[in-house]
Every structure is written in structure tokens, then in C-alpha cells.
Amino acid sequence: MAEEAEQGGERTEDPSQRRLQEARERGQVPRSRELMTFAAMIGGSVALAATSSESAAKMSQLMRRFMSIDAHQLDDTQSMFTALREASMLALSALLPIFGALVAIVVLAGIAIGVGISAPLP
């Protein structure tokens, strides 16, 4: 039975405060993948809802502006590269706030998990 406990089997008692502290010092702290997923989903939804009207307006402008081609643009190949660059920048400016908020939320959730676990237990 002692061998089973040493090999990671079922344990009948909670770890002592000393063992918990040693595990924290070695960096062995539990991580919650579900919390990170939850934070990303909720944060992304909030960021999308907060910026949806602005993003929709920019994407609508993008479609109206770049889905029609003038005849003189077909003669100049450089105008197509310019149009592609402008369309890319407009699409990026529409999507960057959502992606930026999502990255910030995931980073903050990771920091919060680490800080919350490494805090001393009561």
C-alpha cells in the first residue's frame, strides 16, 4: 500500500503544509485548462460584442470599396497591389481589437491562475 502511494496511486490523506510549500518552490502547481478556455471564450465574446458595430462597419466598407473594380485599374498591375495592401490594413484594423483583447485576457488569466495558487493557504 505504501508503494502504491509513492507511485502516484490513491492517497488517503491530504498533503502536509510542508509538502505543499516544497511543491510550490519547485514550480509544481496545478493548472486549470478549463479556466483558460472559459476565460478565452467569455473574453472573446465580450470583446466581439463590444466592438461588433465598429467591426461590422469596417468590414462593410471593405466589401463595398474593394469588391468593385474600375476598368482603369485592370490596366495597371501596381494598383492591384495597392488595393490589396489597403484592404489588408482595413481588415486588420477591424479585427485587431478583438484579437488583442483575446490575447490580453488569456495572458491575464494565466497570471491570475499562477498568483492564486502560489498564494499562501489559510
Residue 84 lies in a domain: yes
| pLDDT, mean of residues 76-95 | 87
Average pLDDT, the chain: 78
In a domain, 76, yes or no: yes
Report if residue 100 sits inside a domain. Answer: yes
Domain assignment present for 9: no
Let me know if residue 105 belongs to a domain.
Answer: yes
pLDDT at 121 > cutoff 60: no
Long-range contacts of 22-26 (CB under 8 A, 24+ apart): 24/117, 24/118
- Kindly state whether residue 49 falls inside one of the protein's structural domains: yes
Q: How far apart are CA 99 and CA 39, in angstroms?
A: 14
pLDDT on residue 122: 45
Which has the higher per-residue pLDDT, 4 or 87?
Answer: 87
Which residue range is the domain that position 40 belongs to?
A: 33-118
Chain segment 52-73, per-residue pLDDT in tens: 888 889 889 888 888 887 777 7
Separation between Cα atoms, residue 94 and residue 60, nearest integer Å: 10
Question: What SS3 state is found at 69?
Answer: coil
Given a cut of 80, whether residue 49 has pLDDT beyond it is: yes
Residue 107 falls within a domain, yes or no?
yes
Return the sign of the alpha-carbon dihedral for residues 86, 91, 96, 99: negative
Residue 16 · residue 56 · CB < 8 Å: no
Q: How does pLDDT run across 109-120, given as a tens digit for each residue?
A: 878 776 655 444
Q: Is residue 73, in this structure, part of any structural domain at all?
A: yes
101 or 10, higher pLDDT:
101
10: Cβ–Cβ under 8 A, 6 or more apart, which residues?
4
For the chain, what is the domain count? 1
Q: Sign of the C-alpha dihedral, residues 70, 73, 75, 81?
A: negative
